[in-house]
Amino acid sequence: MCGSNVQKIANLGRVLINTANSNLDGTGAIGTVLQATTGSSAGGTTISSVIIKATGNTSLGMVRLFIKNTHASYLYKEVMVPANDQTGVVPAFSATVNMGIVLQPGYSLMASTQNSENSTLLPKVQTSPIAPANTIFYC
């Protein structure tokens, strides 16, 4: 049984990015990792981290994370992707990016990749004050 110190953590989004985009302004081929909760009771969405996982070989490049509102996109972080040949004993590139940010309701976390290589992004988020149906409770 959970006590009053329940931590509500949910994974609300996922995106596969694979179209080369060298733009630093959030234009061009860009994927939506997640959109912050909206509505009169929404308190925003806290993103604690994002996992970037390549699904094959990578060449030297970048994965870029953007914050987008209704007016513009802003470059938030760049994550360097090393050259890596995935094999049966060498895993594909993976990185966990610590975020520690709160997206205002309606804002989005977006992502792009420098090279035409597949990467999946998975955010770890906490919503407030109402947790969605796929919330995982840790006691």
User: What tokens does 64 get?
Assistant: 């870029």
The string of pLDDT tens digits covering residues 16-46 is: 999 999 999 999 999 999 988 776 556 778 8
Q: Where are the domains of the chain?
A: 17-127
What pLDDT sits at residue 135?
Answer: 40
Alpha-carbon distance of 78 to 90, in angstroms, equals: 24
Is residue 42 within 8 Å of 35, Cβ to Cβ?
A: no
For 17-127, give the CATH class. Answer: mainly beta
Tokens of 111: 């992502």
User: pTM higher than 0.85, yes or no?
Assistant: no
